[in-house]
Structure 1
Amino acid sequence: MTGKAGEGQTIRRRGFGRTIRAAAVLIVLLFGAANYLVLDHAIKQADSFVIETERTLVRNDFSHQIDQVVQYQSQLSFWDKSFKELAHGMPGDIFVRDQLRDWMWADFGFSWMIFTTPDHEEVLGVHRGAKVSEHEAREKLRWVSDLTRKAEVAYRAALAPSLGGWEVRSAREDPDLLTPALPAIHVSGIRLIDKVMSIVVVQAVIPRTRYIPANRLRPTLLVTVKPISQKMLADAEERLGVEGLSFSPIVTEAPGLAMTPVGGDAYNPMVASWRPNMPGSFVWKSALPQIGLFVLVFAGLMLFGTLRFSALVKALQRSEARNAFLARHDSLTGLRNRSGFDEKAAEVAKEGAGGSFAIIALDLDRFKAVNDLHGHAAGDAVLQAVARRFAERIGVRGCAARFGGDEFCVLLTGEHSRESLVGLAEGLVRDAQVPIAHDGQLLLIGGSAGIAQFPDHGQSLHDVMVMADAALYAAKNAGRNRAAHAGDLRMEEIIEARASRAA
């Protein structure tokens, strides 16, 4: 009968084991499927986020390049010498040679610089540093006529009457900009000029004073074209961390190609394109092998969970041990506190019934002066140093405790002669007198000790403690920095100590 019952229990255990294994397999499958779906969704979201982030970076980078071109062009269009040169028509050959060819073309790389009136009645064009025919310049203006109209509108919108003429209102200063704010009279765009994508900037030529005489109200517009070179694109790729940055027709449809309009130019049929950094493929390559090993992962997770649980139990045990230690020990010095001392003393009294033990009560002298003169940090350093010395001197013969403030107590087990106890107590007093280095100075204190023995000076721990305190008071009254034995006390000293203890 017992064999059948054991066999039944074995079958039930096996069935339970199979159930657990089946549940584990199901959990693994569900976990794998959930991870697959979550991972797939996360990858799609990450890819989308990366593309949108790179679109913003590309747009901002081209916007920054346009701002730089505006700043370069402003050195000519926002200049007294340019404004003066245009007083009687288009610039002369000397101005073209000295300023446009050797400066704007050689230094800044503007392929086209065209001066024109808003109605294109007067036109002067410079291509790659060389003056070109008026017809050729007008042909180029056809591709940017919308920008010249906007530039004239912006110029006139910025005018305000001033002293018989006009003043071009300045833009609001932004303290966060590293470049000076320019009058808001420029317009810009990105156009296909001479089969090269180029940054086009158009703005009226004005003097530094921004004052326009009444007879100069009609503006002369300066059109500059800065080709976007392969080096500029390569530098942008390095800054942005993308690959294959170029321009593509807006109708381009190519898988894996990210595109975004740049420059804010509605007439630009081209968009910036690049190969985005897609983290999805890398994540899939890294994750798929792991998904195939979910059974092993599950076993590892179970093992990990067991180890973590064990570690948690050990941590709780250490925490409980630490709390138990702190309940019985002084947090500053590591010595036993009054509760821990009483517990140890009770153990000694119980185990050594009929035996003997001794108590040495100690107080530090001039400790309050250290706290008052040097602060509580110095006082803590003194207590820690003295406690360490006391513990080292007592060793395995007993235990030392701190009752609070500068009050210490030592419990010694076993038989001890009067001479050995006095010698030990005097050693403790000397330990207290050794200077303590703290914060570049030596702290000096002293100590007094009182000694009492069981059963010579009391029939209980309480009585022995009272006599040790009485001996301590006698040492203090005798001049401090010394040890006194309860056997040397007068009756009035004992009565006084007992009364003080009872209070």
Structure 2
Amino acid sequence: MAEFRRRYSDRSDSKSRIRISRLAFLLAALLIAVTSVSLVFVGFVASHASTQQAIANEERLFRNALQERLRDIVREQRTVTVSDETVRKLVRTFDPVYARQHFHALWSRYRHNKVILISGNNQVLAESFQDYTHITKRPSSETPALAPVIRKTQALFAANRVRVPGGFGHRSLQGLDTDQYALMGVIRLDGKPALFSAMPIMPDEYTATLPDGGPTLMISVKYIDDTLLERLNSQLNFARLRFEPKAFEPEDGPSHLVTSEEGVDVGSFRWESQTVIDSIWPTVIPVIAMLSLTLGALAFGIAWRIGQLTRSLQKSEEQNRYLALHDNLSGLANRLQFNRVLETSTADLPNKRFAVLHCDLDKFKAVNDTYGHAAGDTVIKIMAKRLNEVVGKPGLVCRIGGDEFMVIYRGGTSRKDLDTLCRALINKALLPIQIEGGNTAHVGLSIGVAVAPADGTEPEDLVARSDAALYRAKDRGRGVHAFYEDLLKDTFIQEDDASANTGLSSLSA
């Protein structure tokens, strides 16, 4: 009887342990299942959020690059529209030769595909098609797409017009944002999507004034073609950047929709996202398997995975930031970084003086024509390295496009120091360059110098004046450097000579 009781008691305890074990396994399995589903959900959300954030960053970078390109068109257009001579030749009177000359310059220098001149009474006076300029006189209403552009640009002029002795002028552009005096955006013209800039013609030195009435406007257009997309993408390096004439949903991938001044959709810029987020499932599945051994491994796996996703996103963002601020070919700072550093430098004036050097390669086109663009790329890379070596830590060397470089130099800004620097740069540029095929390329360098604050305290002024000095250097035979202050002295000397000649003529009379 005692043995029977003992055996019965053993059997009952065994069944109880089995039931508890099964219940524990069921609870553990339920807990693992719930945790696994939660992990899968968290992984999906994290992966989706990371992808969306990366795409949002790319779209923000593209918006900034597009806006900067539009500002470039305005700056290029200002070389013609902000001028006393332009007021005299295109507003006070209409000189077809002057119009053809400057419309051609906007095409040859900056590749403005189309330039339109519209009088104060809304008549189209001249219209260029690349290097051909057609002189006409027709109502602008024949091109309906121009109506909102003309209306809004006239409103900008009305807000900035000021009365001056002898007529009217325009408020100083210093301190004004670009969109306060120029209209820029996207338009569909001649059946093609295009970027445009519209500005009123205005004096810069007020030796000429504007008449009463509506402003004379100039509209510059760059069609959205392969050339423009390539230049726009030079600082982004997006994969398969293209333009398509329709809008897209967010789930279709990264894109940027642009609309006309009337609010009508023109189309979308699209590209393939560069951010590649690794699939989360190969990581989650092993972690789920580990749950059968320990829930601690699950917590470790989640933390590790989140860290991986965060580092992947951070790395992608750092890469995008680098691409946005550097030239893809030379590795130098690009135009966007140059503009930012220049604005910061001018804000430190007059405490921290600096110089702006506008450098342009001589005979570079001959290298491309003779040896091909691959050789031209080699020359650009080597010249970028040489400029960096000569300028050193006191300066920032930037490539702003093609064979043009800009330098912001904070070393010695005396005439002697800058003469020494420019000669060193020019001598370094003259060294032969070995290219593929055992050939040797020979190029040179011309430099225009503007010194802040003596030659200006605004970024736009310093860039324009260093550019003017560069043109003087080119006129002097290339391979030399010129200072903007010398350009002013030459101007004053010419004016004094002219006055003297006038005086002598009066005495003779």
TM-score (norm 2): 0.50
Q: Is the 8 A contact 1:123 1:138 kept in 2?
A: no
Name the aligned partner's letter for residue 100 of structure 1: F
Residue 230 of structure 1, aligned match among 207, 226, 232? 226
Residue equivalent to 1:288:
281
Residue equivalent to 2:241:
245
Residue 147 of structure 1 and its aligned partner are, at CA, apart by 0.9
**For 1:145 and 1:276, how far apart are their aligned partners in 2?**
36
Residue 61 of structure 1, aligned match among 61, 65, 71? 65
**For 1:50 and 1:304, how far apart are their aligned partners in 2?**
29
**For 1:122 and 1:196, how far apart are their aligned partners in 2?**
20
Alignment of 1:377-456 (within 5 A): none
Alignment of 1:343-382 (within 5 A): none
Residue equivalent to 1:432:
none
Residue equivalent to 1:34:
38
**For 1:14 and 1:79, how far apart are their aligned partners in 2?**
97
Residue equivalent to 1:485:
none
Residue 27 of structure 1 and its aligned partner are, at CA, apart by 1.4
**For 2:63 and 2:257, how far apart are their aligned partners in 1?**
7
**For 2:299 and 2:113, how far apart are their aligned partners in 1?**
73
Residue 305 of structure 1 and its aligned partner are, at CA, apart by 8.8
Q: Deviations over 1:95-129 (max 9, x none)?
A: 2454321x211110011122221323461122212
Question: Cα 1:42–1:296, aligned 2, differ >3 Å: closer, same or farther?
Answer: closer
Residue equivalent to 2:90:
86
**For 2:296 and 2:183, how far apart are their aligned partners in 1?**
67
Question: Cα 1:140–1:45, aligned 2, differ >3 Å: closer, same or farther?
Answer: farther
Question: Cα 1:236–1:16, aligned 2, differ >3 Å: closer, same or farther?
Answer: farther
**For 1:159 and 1:208, how far apart are their aligned partners in 2?**
13
1:75 aligns with 2:75: no
**For 1:206 and 1:77, how far apart are their aligned partners in 2?**
6
Residue 222 of structure 1 and its aligned partner are, at CA, apart by 1.1
Moved more, 218-227 or 62-71: 218-227
Q: Is the 8 A contact 1:115 1:125 kept in 2?
A: yes
Q: Is the 8 A contact 2:141 2:147 kept in 1?
A: no
State which structure, 1 or 2, has the greater radius of gyration over its C-alpha atoms: 1
Residue 117 of structure 1, aligned match among 110, 116, 119? 119
Residue equivalent to 2:479:
none
User: Could you say what secondary structure the match of 1:262 adopts?
Assistant: strand
**For 2:251 and 2:137, how far apart are their aligned partners in 1?**
43
User: Could you say what secondary structure the match of 1:190 adopts?
Assistant: strand
Residue equivalent to 2:148:
146
**For 2:299 and 2:41, how far apart are their aligned partners in 1?**
28
Q: Is the 8 A contact 1:112 1:225 kept in 2?
A: yes
Name the aligned partner's letter for residue 114 of structure 2: W
Question: Cα 1:116–1:108, aligned 2, differ >3 Å: closer, same or farther?
Answer: same
**For 2:82 and 2:47, how far apart are their aligned partners in 1?**
50
Q: Deviations over 1:300-350 (max 9, x none)?
A: 54575999xxxxxxxxxxxxxxxxxxxxxxxxxxxxxxxxxxxxxxxxxxx
Residue 254 of structure 1 and its aligned partner are, at CA, apart by 9.7
Q: Is the 8 A contact 1:112 1:226 kept in 2?
A: yes
**For 2:123 and 2:191, how far apart are their aligned partners in 1?**
27
Residue equivalent to 2:109:
107
1:271 aligns with 2:267: yes
Residue 128 of structure 1, aligned match among 109, 127, 130? 130
1:298 aligns with 2:291: yes
Q: Is the 8 A contact 2:187 2:196 kept in 1?
A: yes
Residue 29 of structure 1 and its aligned partner are, at CA, apart by 0.7
User: Could you say what secondary structure the match of 2:180 adopts?
Assistant: coil
Alignment of 1:210-225 (within 5 A): 213=209, 215=211, 218-225=214-221
Moved more, 159-168 or 73-82: 159-168
Residue 5 of structure 1 and its aligned partner are, at CA, apart by 5.6
Q: Is the 8 A contact 1:167 1:211 kept in 2?
A: no
1:194 aligns with 2:190: yes
1:158 aligns with 2:160: yes
User: Could you say what secondary structure the match of 2:195 adopts?
Assistant: strand
Residue equivalent to 1:476:
none
Residue 245 of structure 1 and its aligned partner are, at CA, apart by 3.1
Question: Cα 1:241–1:144, aligned 2, differ >3 Å: closer, same or farther?
Answer: same
Q: Deviations over 1:354-395 (max 9, x none)?
A: xxxxxxxxxxxxxxxxxxxxxxxxxxxxxxxxxxxxxxxxxx
**For 1:299 and 1:215, how far apart are their aligned partners in 2?**
87
Q: Is the 8 A contact 2:114 2:222 kept in 1?
A: yes
Residue 11 of structure 1 and its aligned partner are, at CA, apart by 4.8
Residue 230 of structure 1 and its aligned partner are, at CA, apart by 1.4
Residue 212 of structure 1 and its aligned partner are, at CA, apart by 6.3
Residue 185 of structure 1 and its aligned partner are, at CA, apart by 2.7
Percent identical residues? 15
Question: Cα 1:73–1:306, aligned 2, differ >3 Å: closer, same or farther?
Answer: closer
Note the residue ranges of structure 2 that are not aligned, 5 or more in a row: 301-509
User: Could you say what secondary structure the match of 1:197 adopts?
Assistant: strand
**For 1:217 and 1:278, how far apart are their aligned partners in 2?**
52
Name the aligned partner's letter for residue 221 of structure 2: V
Question: Cα 1:55–1:4, aligned 2, differ >3 Å: closer, same or farther?
Answer: same
Q: Is the 8 A contact 2:47 2:280 kept in 1?
A: no
**For 1:127 and 1:136, how far apart are their aligned partners in 2?**
16
**For 1:251 and 1:16, how far apart are their aligned partners in 2?**
61
Residue 15 of structure 1 and its aligned partner are, at CA, apart by 3.9
Name the aligned partner's letter for residue 39 of structure 2: N
Q: Is the 8 A contact 1:168 1:210 kept in 2?
A: no
Name the aligned partner's letter for residue 228 of structure 2: M
Question: Cα 1:257–1:133, aligned 2, differ >3 Å: closer, same or farther?
Answer: farther
User: Could you say what secondary structure the match of 2:44 adopts?
Assistant: helix
Residue equivalent to 1:262:
258
**For 2:175 and 2:60, how far apart are their aligned partners in 1?**
25
**For 1:245 and 1:192, how far apart are their aligned partners in 2?**
19
Q: Is the 8 A contact 2:122 2:139 kept in 1?
A: no
Residue 171 of structure 1 and its aligned partner are, at CA, apart by 4.5
Q: Is the 8 A contact 1:51 1:276 kept in 2?
A: no
**For 1:301 and 1:19, how far apart are their aligned partners in 2?**
18
Name the aligned partner's letter for residue 74 of structure 2: V
Alignment of 1:171-186 (within 5 A): 171=173, 173=175, 184-186=180-182
**For 1:27 and 1:105, how far apart are their aligned partners in 2?**
71
